[in-house]
A and B are shown apart, each in its own frame.
Chain A
C-alpha cells in the first residue's frame, strides 16, 4: 500500500510570491491534516480536512489556505510569502482520524 505522497519535495520562492503544495493520502484515508515544522516552533497544526470540509484550523494567518478534493487529495496554498514561511510542510492522512501517517514533507525556502 502506497504511503502519503507530497509534491514537490523541494521548493524555492521569493518573498511576495505564492505557492501551492499537494498531498495525496493513503488510499481509503479521508482525513488529511497539514503541519508546519520549523526549528524554533517545532510542529504546528495548520488545518484538517475530511470529506472536502475543513473541520479544524490552527492559529495561522489567512494567507494560509487549503482545500480537499473528492478523491481526498489535498492542496495547501500560501500567498504573499514571507521569509518566516520557510519550513518543512508535512501532510498526514488518517482513515478514522485516529492514527496519523505522515508524508515526506515539502521543504519550502523563501528568499
Chain B
C-alpha cells in the first residue's frame, strides 16, 4: 500500500527566500506525481504534474523534481512571496493496471507561511 509523507508539516520563511518542500513515497511503481496548492477552506489547485518517465517540471517560479529510485519528489519555490502562503500537497498515482488504479494517494501537506 502506497504511503506518502511530507516533511515538515509547517514551514515559515521570510519573503524573498528560496525554499524546498519534500515529498517521499514508499512504492516507486507510480504512474505520475502531482503537486497541489490548497488555500484555507478551498479546493486544490494543480501546480505541476511529473510523469514517471520525467525527472522534473517547471512552471514560473516553481520547479518539481522526481527521483523514483529513492522515492522522493521536491518542490522548489524561488523568491517566495506572501501570496505563496498556503498548504502544499503532493499526490502519487499508481500504475494504470490492477487494483487501485486512478486513485491518488496524498501526503498530509506542508503548510507554508511567507512572512513579509
Contact = CB atoms under 8 A, between A and B. Distances in A.
A42 B103 contact: no
Interface residues of A, number: 26
B34 A55 contact: no
Given A42-B106, A55-B101, A98 B44 contact: no
Nearest to A55: B102
B46 A100 contact: yes
Contacts of A6: 43
A104 B59 CA distance: 22
Contacts, number: 61
A64 to B, nearest CB: 14
Contact of B89 (A43, A48, A105): A43
Given A42-B108, A98-B32, A100-B34, A48 B102 contact: yes
Contacts of B105: 45
Contacts of A100: 34, 46, 91, 104
Interface of A: 4, 6, 31, 33, 35, 42-43, 45, 48, 50, 55-56, 58, 88, 90, 92, 97-105, 107
